[in-house]
Amino acid sequence: MSIGIGIVGCGMIANFHTKAIADAKGAHLVGVTDRRPEAATEFAAKNDIEAFDSLEAMLADPRIEAVSICTPSGAHMDPAVAAAKAGKHVIVEKPLEITTERCDEIIRACEEAGVRLAVTFQSRFHESSRLIKQAVEQGRFGKITMGDAYVKWFRSQAYYDSGAWRGTWNMDGGGALMNQAIHSVDLLVWLMGPVKEISAMTATMTHERIEVEDVAVATLKFENGALGVIEATTTAFPGSLKRIEISGSHGTAVLEEEDIIQWSFAEETDEDEAIRKRMAGKNSSGGGAADPSAIDHHGHTQLFEELVASVNEDRPTVINGHEGRRSVEVIRAIYESAKTGQTVRLS
């Protein structure tokens, strides 16, 4: 049976969730709501779905079995908790929330209600990401020594001026790290394991009328002993594809968006050359490097299908609340280190 989904929030990302749900097996979009009823009406008419005049009305509809939260980052908690208390499964666009405390409120509400919680870190579903994860688990890198993430993007002043919430601490939760680079932070921690220590600096270099950083650099020590770097910016014209680099005593892999541009191991397997050929030229968009709308929705589709599978199989989602919280914890630690000038140790 297909799961009926409602979307909360009609901003840009809601368009990608709409396309993803349309393509997802076992799911269908019922309707949408927004704090501005006219926005919901316009969005619903464009997509031939129902417009609910309030979140309460959406949650009261038995056709809605899951709710996708597409509000600004700092406005995720309230609708997510309300949906959980109404017995609806919850999908939250990244980040899960802008502080670990608010993340914990969402996680707690979903666990107490016995509903599924999924966070949209869709890059984990890309074949290239999964191949690197598999190589890590197989020990092909030997002793892993470094893990780095680079997100050197560009956002115009007009981008920040386009919404009053953009570039604010209370609604955006941060800048280049919390909004743009969080996918790469998630992938890095997923591949490398927990972070033990962080030392960082941030700055606002070129953008006006924003409270948050547009440049950030952090050095990390992982629990496995490896070291790493996170670089993030929204002021690197014209914007480059994001990169993840994993290095060890027996191998190196470099991921550029969905392309694997280096796949080198001391002990080659029969599949390695095929992987190098197959995983080159995979990018079909700009990856959001210069245009936030220049992304593909196929990763979102896989996330919605995974949610459906978790419901049908009565198991937690793969990218659950605890997984979604990890990147927020790392980014908040970076902000704390940049503010205090001290190394931050994570529990």
Superfamily covering domain 3-115: NAD(P)-binding Rossmann-like Domain (3.40.50.720)
- pLDDT single digits (tens) 18-33: 999 999 999 999 999 9
pLDDT of residue 284: 60
Question: CA-to-CA distance for 194 and 222, rounded, in angstroms?
Answer: 6
Q: How far is CA 141 from CA 146, 225, 296, in A?
A: 10, 14, 30
* Predicted local confidence at residue 295, as pLDDT: 67
Q: Report phi then psi at 165, rounded to 5.
A: -80, -20
Residue 294 has pLDDT above 90, yes or no: no
Distance of CA 260 to the CA centre of its chain: 20
174 Cβ contact partners less than 8 Å away, ≥ 6 residues apart: 98, 212, 213, 331, 335
Where are the chain's structural domains? 3-115, 124-290+328-345
pLDDT tens digit string along 36-92?
A: 999 999 999 999 999 999 999 999 999 999 999 999 999 999 999 999 999 999 999
Topology of domain 124-290+328-345 in CATH is Dihydrodipicolinate Reductase; domain 2 (3.30.360)
